[in-house]
Structure 1
Amino acid sequence: MSDNDEYDVIVLGTGAAGLTAALAAATNGARVGLFEKAEKIGGTTALASAVVWLPANRYGREAGVQDSRDDAIAYLDSLSHGMILPALRDAFVDTVDELTEWLETKTPARFQLVAGFPDYHPEHPGGKPGGGRSIEPQLFSFAGISEWVDRIVGTPRRMNVGDTPIGGGTGVLPANVIANREQHLIEGLGRALIGSLLAGCLEHGVVPTTGARAERLLVHDGRVVGVAFADGREVRGRTVVLATGGYEYDADLARDFLRGPMASPAGVPSNTGDGLRMAMRLGARLGNMREAWWVPVMQQPGDRADGGNNVYLVNRERTLPRSIIVNDQGDRFTNEAANYNALGGAFHTFDPSRFRYLNQPAWLVFDQGLVDSYGCFGNPAGAPVPAFVPRADSLSDLAVTIGISGTRLEATVAHWNTMVADGHDDDFNRGDSAYDGWCGDRSLYPTPLATLGPIERGPYYAVELISSTLGTKGGPRTDVDGRVLDMDSQVIPGLFAAGNVMAAPTGMVYGGAGGTLGPAMIFGYRAGKAAAR
């Protein structure tokens, strides 16, 4: 990066939104400068499963899924609570086929349906209990861009979602399969998506510059004309696309904007709100600032290579039979098997009398039967539970260990076991939704027993659940092509945004698996095209 670099389009950030925007601009004739704050590219996308939620997509149609534009709009509207702007909703739904066709033309990315994966609220109008809206990248070989293998966030994972427990697999592949994929630099999940998008960018002359933290937007005569970087250099461009991720790693911004408690965010530590600040300095109108992609996590010992929080997403274990979640009074307070984003609301319940968040701290409680039948925290069935997990031979002793009432915990578990024996959770309807058991006992899916099971055999275990996030989802408001709007809803000339840095077009909704990446890639694509024009 030199002092006098000049581009048609400058893109800040190399997650799915940024790479998609850069490629879209390049394929529409622009000279593109692509800059990444961190030393490695990929952002939180590289750590993710890379499932992409796209309603009424062609992969679903080819598999016989009955879906439509009207179904998608009805579904999003049923969940909106007034926070989804109709114009952005329509742009999202109407760009699905255009995006996937373009990706398979301009990149080596090939996608496939994650068969059967239900929407996260499948019983709502327009929802799909049998799936059809979640797709994933096929396995990708880095052989052609091997020099980038060690320059992408995360570690190689050589399987598809369908090979993992969440997708119905075991999470374990035969040694010869792993060896073959290692030899040919074949990967799946988040790094596969990043690799395929990167390959498309490289083929079109877009090479990421890493270690380049943008601090300020350059403005001339009211128009954004470039970026000033932390090292003092300035880069000029006709337009700038912000794709810098959210602000979850900035404690001040999280305190000032998020609706409830959040700690130990799971994404990359470079998500400190840089793009948000740059847009705010130019008078951008903000939206959706209270919201995040909520997820419960547990803290693990040790450090993460990229300096991020070493947390484990507790999405499978709380859905498996023989587990419940309790607060520090020893009471259940929610459907444990609900989707992780919606579950955030349960952790934000506020008690006005005691003036505290009622369900933080919270604990996942499970028994040896879960361990023997299903395994936990990445370990196979029957493997020992990690040593750092609290345990005891009785529920009362477990309660003492984690600092809650033993009498109350015993009563809660006894009540739970009675409901399990009757085959229905009368308190929170766990198991009623087609989604609830998806990550549970797949041999019993889609019956409620896929997620209902007694807690009766010691030793008993508990892990503290932290109200966390995959990323924040508030930022500058944009039009349907990602143009950032000011406080008077007028376009700020030359400035665009996509991904978690923008006000999420789906409001508080997480439509289904891939509900983060679907909008990120749609609006990255639309912003890149518009920025090139």
Structure 2
Amino acid sequence: MAEFDETFDWVVVGSGAGSMSSALLMKQAGKSVVILEKAEWVGGTTCKSGGVMWIPANRFMDPGEDSVEKGVEYLNAVVEDAPDAPGTSPERRRTYVVEARKMLDFIVDQGVALERGSNFWPDYYDEKPGGVKTSRTVTALPFDKKELGKEWAPKLRKGFLEVPVKLDDGMKLPFMKHSWAIKKIFLKTAVAVVAGKLTGKHWVTAGAALQGRMLKAVLDKKAAKIRVNSPVNEVIIEDGKAVGVVTVKNGKPWRIAANLGVLVNAGGFAQNQAMRDKYMPGTRAEWSNGIETDNGDMHVELERKGAALGQMDQFVGCQTTTAPGWEDDYVKPATQSTTGKPHAIQVDQSGVRYMNEGGSYEEFCENMVVRDRTVPAIPSWAIMDQQYMDNYAVAGKGTAKKNMAKWLESGWMRRGDSVEALAEAIKVPPTTLRNTLDRWNGFVRKGKDEDFHRGERAYDNWLGDPFFKDGPNACMGTIEKGPFYAIPVVPGDVGTYGGVVCDSQSRVLKADGTPIQGLYACGVSTASPMGKVYPGAGASVGPSMTFGWIAAKHAAGMGNQF
């Protein structure tokens, strides 16, 4: 029998969104909770992300716009049940759709200010049965982290967008020159930034706003003790049951007992190159937006304790590029907004276009990795012309007018006065690249991408330019006006997507399919309940919050109360 230094009802490893939702539920049940975070900041990868939750039939949608059955139909249409996707099942998908909206209602009732992400943020496969072309997304309102007080405000992990603007509005700002309404958003944001500095506010939005609001709710309600710099090295199993953990306190091992159970929400293994080489060769840790502590230590520990791992070859891709300064960027420069715009496509190192440049970033990067097994495609090349340069920013690095000279000098961007000259600059066969562009331009003029159907989904067009009028849709434009340009694209990510296999109650399963009693997991510590697909914006954060909440309900015996 293990001896312990301290006892709580519920011990949580990691401080992501699912950790907070579980703590709030346990508080409702009258249970004691400790959250152990190995980093010096609270919030996990959720803080650095968009903080979006994908929740069908949620409270912010219009009556009749969606339903549980429609959400289940959509997931069943896009997610494949297969032996190599043990994290998903019809039961687990239905559980998510049914419980996610309940979790959302509970969180809002705890005082966490949320809203619909946008009235037009389509599902990534909106053409499938049950797909929604409006939006199932939920986001947090901007948050002043000073509300956390002097002790906790510095402990909230930095977000990627620390200004007082709603995430949805922030995504509109690149089109400011086309719309007075968007200009007003910019001016309103600028005024709020200045006012915030004058009044001592520190605004954050997106994932940091979500986690800031969740953290404040936990602190206000005294729902948990939260400890940073507290890595967990071991889950203690006795007689087949998780009974506690070994952490670190004051530099020494500290054993904490868990009366009801242990929840692992410790992130993935995005920064562990050895694990990436083993499970997803061809990807690199330096291309990832995963946080510095995302090293898979709990994947290793739980497997050592008998847990089954699944879907370990999966990652939430986020195509990126090695633009000048990328090594030091807090968030790596993304190219989804580049290749998804008119006047841009992507080719492999043979000069051939090989996929729809719109759509899901997860599928985009998976296509790159798969293509590279037969034709060199890492890096691939985003191809653009002067029409693109005259109208759009490049990979979040600004406009060509201001930056072209340094881009070309660095060698990151390549330019050619003709298609053939560009081909020589990027070392692809000139005839192949010319044929690829001629074929693309023909599709644009016909109004149909006969190879990969770009523009046929609402989401493809959402990624494009809503003000574009010179093509058949918002995302297809010719590439024919020289000079021509190229930048390299690699399969970056926002985190890994595989881990321990869990059941519909979030219990960690052994290889034989039986649960390890008292051991629960959520977030990207698990094999995703979405299998090998990313069905819509927020398909990581939504399940993390929901299955963390479900785990607490099960452990506390409150399953029938919500």
* TM-score, with length taken from structure 2: 0.87
Query: What are the Cα deviations for residues 184-225 of structure 1, in whole angstroms up to 9, with x where unaligned?
Result: 333211110010000011112224211122111122333212
Question: Structure 2 CA distance, aligned partners of 1:412 and 1:138?
Answer: 44
Contact 2:117–2:168 (8 Å) recurs in 1: no
Alignment of 1:126-525 (within 5 A): 126-129=130-133, 131-147=134-150, 148-155=152-159, 156-165=162-171, 170=176, 173-174=186-187, 175-182=190-197, 183=199, 184-205=201-222, 206-229=224-247, 231=251, 232-238=253-259, 239-258=261-280, 261=283, 264-302=287-325, 311-349=332-370, 356=374, 358-378=376-396, 379=398, 383-385=402-404, 387=407, 388=410, 389-394=412-417, 395-444=419-468, 448-525=472-549
- Structure 1 stretches lacking a partner, 5+ long: none
SS in 1 for 2:233: strand
Contact 1:54–1:135 (8 Å) recurs in 2: yes
- Superposed displacement of residue 181, structure 1: 4.0
SS in 1 for 2:226: coil
- Superposed displacement of residue 322, structure 1: 0.7
- Superposed displacement of residue 527, structure 1: 1.4
Question: Structure 2 CA distance, aligned partners of 1:362 and 1:69?
Answer: 40
* TM-score, with length taken from structure 1: 0.91
Matched AA of 1:73: V
- 1:77 maps to 2:96: no
Contact 1:11–1:35 (8 Å) recurs in 2: yes
Distance change >3 Å, CA 99–CA 214, structure 1 → 2: same
Alignment of 1:28-177 (within 5 A): 28-61=29-62, 64=63, 66-82=65-81, 83=85, 84-129=88-133, 131-147=134-150, 148-155=152-159, 156-165=162-171, 170=176, 173-174=186-187, 175-177=190-192
- Superposed displacement of residue 498, structure 1: 0.6
Question: Structure 2 CA distance, aligned partners of 1:304 and 1:111?
Answer: 34
Contact 1:294–1:342 (8 Å) recurs in 2: yes
Give the root-mean-square deviation of aligned CA atoms.
2.5
Query: What are the Cα deviations for residues 89-124 of structure 1, in whole angstroms up to 9, with x where unaligned?
Result: 111011133111111111333223411111100000
Distance change >3 Å, CA 38–CA 225, structure 1 → 2: same
SS in 1 for 2:121: coil
Question: Structure 2 CA distance, aligned partners of 1:150 and 1:304?
Answer: 25
Query: What are the Cα deviations for residues 366-394 of structure 1, in whole angstroms up to 9, with x where unaligned?
Result: 12321221222332685434624313242
Distance change >3 Å, CA 314–CA 217, structure 1 → 2: same
Name whichever structure is richer in helix by fraction: 2
User: 16-25 or 39-48, which moves further after superposition?
Assistant: 16-25
Question: Structure 2 CA distance, aligned partners of 1:471 and 1:166?
Answer: 25
Question: Structure 2 CA distance, aligned partners of 1:319 and 1:177?
Answer: 31
Contact 2:416–2:425 (8 Å) recurs in 1: no
SS in 2 for 1:57: coil
Matched AA of 2:166: N
SS in 2 for 1:467: coil
- Structure 2 stretches lacking a partner, 5+ long: 177-181, 558-562
Matched AA of 1:297: T
Query: What are the Cα deviations for residues 393-421 of structure 1, in whole angstroms up to 9, with x where unaligned?
Result: 42333333333223322332232223222
Contact 1:65–1:132 (8 Å) recurs in 2: no
Contact 1:299–1:310 (8 Å) recurs in 2: no
Contact 2:54–2:137 (8 Å) recurs in 1: yes
User: 187-196 or 280-289, which moves further after superposition?
Assistant: 280-289
SS in 2 for 1:293: strand
User: 225-234 or 100-109, which moves further after superposition?
Assistant: 225-234
Matched AA of 1:504: S
- Superposed displacement of residue 59, structure 1: 0.7
Distance change >3 Å, CA 401–CA 513, structure 1 → 2: same
Query: What are the Cα deviations for residues 150-171 of structure 1, in whole angstroms up to 9, with x where unaligned?
Result: 3222242432222123698649
User: 335-344 or 323-332, which moves further after superposition?
Assistant: 335-344
User: 313-322 or 150-159, which moves further after superposition?
Assistant: 150-159
